Chain A
């Protein structure tokens, strides 16, 4: 066929490229899926810990990890969305705190009967609005997202402290504590303690699926990647940068609001200083999951793997006698390792 004949030299003479191809194939595993690094690390840690401390290998440990990863996971999905769109968000802890604490105070002081569904919804809505403000500012001011969200982070936390309250809420509304305790399944561990997997855990897989769906099945998902890949080109091609940015930041804010209310329900207390300082850990998890800080890459599955890796490091290393002070060293080493690996991979594919 004519079509065939016309394919150009580089395509015809595959043989020219075969040595490269062979070398590439060895890296193919990593090339397609950068998050494989995190998966490997995860497996190594699991294997190592189980070997040293066999009592680790039981359902209850997995349940612990699952429970501990919900809040970080929700944050991470939001950060991943923003990173993919070429931005960065460090205001989500403040958003989560404001949404969570604001709604809790409202329920305690004004509307004690508020159903739990409405509580969760309000918190998500507040997060969504605050996140959208980030998006509007980033787009409107043409200021780097890092600067904008540093600003709004102070701003949101400040509003919380000035207008909403500064005290630690120890008595939470009963519908929230009930929601936090509501168990999906109870597991008795070897030492007779019952561990329960709470219903709210389901929020994480649902949010992950939703995020995956947005990214892979809607035009918005592709638009986010387009803008993160090259905003100038995306604009030239007719993508509305404002919509994309407001969506990405708004979505991240909504997830932060959700994470906030879940944390408050599970811990049965609300502190206006909650979540302060969690942003770097979450961003680290997302980057370990293969998203580039420069935008346009990453995946939901990678993000979840990154979250699991960070959660496991924070919760499991203690079991094998590694002091908690060392966890930071380990996380730092992993990030450097992953970064080195990605750079190596990029250089390979640049050839």
Chain B
């Protein structure tokens, strides 16, 4: 078979790509095409398969099924080396720079590595490294003087590191540069610089694929939109042919009217009142309240400050400004212990590493907060009392097993989550913060978790749900707060809002919002 590229073949195309992880079908037949010198924007909600598809393009994952056409050659998979050789370079969010090496080495060592075909016992061509680094750095607009070339990456600000990472891709003669949410932690000025750098790449006939949430920037760069939803590519076409609303609809794909549990629920008295809370750079000027028996949702992009807010209320992140009152009483929360004392529970997003003792039994996972209540004589643990209490929790949370000695790792995601929620219910919390309560939980289990949430609200517990899953928030919440750049930018009544509307305000640049 000849290795010369076919004249009309596109640089890279994926045909009917499937990817399964165990039982989870991350990609279900994706088709997309990349041509050199064009910009692409991979859009979609979290968990739609975006990151899986870029890992397939960069050779980090093998597709379960499907064909990759590279320069007209049909391949079943790419390896990291073959992707690099073909000129596919990925700038991950972590930038993949070697922190202890210099700028010049980070930019130019790859070239030496490829030149030696992976052989390591060869002399370095220091002159070549320097020249390659200077050329590539100039293309990303960095003045490549001696002091920059010799700087160690760990000493550089993030925006400069990012350009070093792009320069490395250029030095490797990239034909496609994939950038995974490149602007997430950049200031507005730095974004401008990045957009200009991207323009230069395009001028040099390099294709650029952005994985991004920020439609604003995508429209400015132009090119093709590639929209993903539930593991499928649902649209590819010139960005200017789509309105923002159309894109949001394509991404969410729903006009499903799921049951809204909260219609017409009576409101109680104010439980928690936050006034101008602030913490370092996580969030600022946060004012809102939660009533007894009310369910408030918080959403926003991952850098919007919503995670920090949730963790601050639970005592994991210090609150530096503002006043927090609980049933009218001023409270200061500086540790998780304080939060528990005030009856504030926190169910973390990553229940496996932050919430559960995963190898331990259901029993041991349900009782840690009520040890004082179940201790018997001499302060020793009373196993009988403990088991009785744990049995109650299991029953209340409708676990699918009454066996208390089963390790939590043997349970499904939904049951694990219920063990965790049950643990908090055991202390009769006043406020429960649920962070991504249904992440990685199957549809059936979602329902039971929703029921548990509603039951808690009925008992008068205030709930704060932090989630990306807009339908879930619409179904469960009375109100939905949208955060952006550390501030609450919208306070929607869940009955009167659509997920498109919320999505739009999540993405809204700070220009449109309150400036």
Contacts and interface: CB of A to CB of B under 8 A. Distances in A.
Interface of A: 2-4, 6-11, 216-223, 225-226, 228-230, 233-240, 243-244, 247, 296-297, 349
B98 A230 contact: yes
Interface stretch (B68-76, B106-114, B370-378): B106-114
Contacts of A220: 120-122
Contacts of B120: 218-220, 223, 239-240, 243-244, 247
Given A218-B122, A219-B116, A220-B120, 18 more contacts: A3-B138, A7-B142, A11-B142, A217-B123, A217-B126, A220-B121, A221-B124, A222-B101, A223-B120, A225-B101, A226-B109, A229-B99, A229-B101, A237-B110, A238-B114, A296-B100, A349-B154, A349-B155
Nearest to A2: B141
Contact of A222 (B97, B105, B159): B105
Interface stretch (B19-27, B28-36, B188-196): B188-196
Nearest to A216: B124
A235 to B, nearest CB: 8
B440 interface: no
Interface in B57-103: 60, 80-81, 84, 94, 96-101
Contacts of A349: 154-155
Nearest to A6: B141
Contacts of A297: 100
Give the one of B97, B109, B123 with max A CB within 10 A: B109
Interface in B138-169: 138, 141-143, 154-155, 157, 159-160
B322 interface: no
Interface string B354-373: 00000000000000000000
B118 A238 contact: yes
Given A225-B100, A233-B96, A8 B123 contact: no
Contacts of B141: 2-3, 6-8
A237 to B, nearest CB: 6
A10 B157 contact: yes
A9 B109 CA distance: 28
A290 to B, nearest CB: 12
B113 A10 contact: no
B314 to A, nearest CB: 26
Q: Which 10 residue pairs are nearest across A and B when measured between Cβ atoms?
A: A6-B141, A229-B100, A296-B100, A220-B120, A229-B98, A233-B96, A8-B193, A226-B98, A10-B157, A223-B120
Contacts of A6: 141, 193, 196
A218 B121 contact: yes
B101 A217 contact: no
Given A218-B121, A240-B120, A11 B193 contact: no
A233 B121 contact: no
Nearest to B153: A229
B14 to A, nearest CB: 21
Contacts of B124: 216-219, 221-222
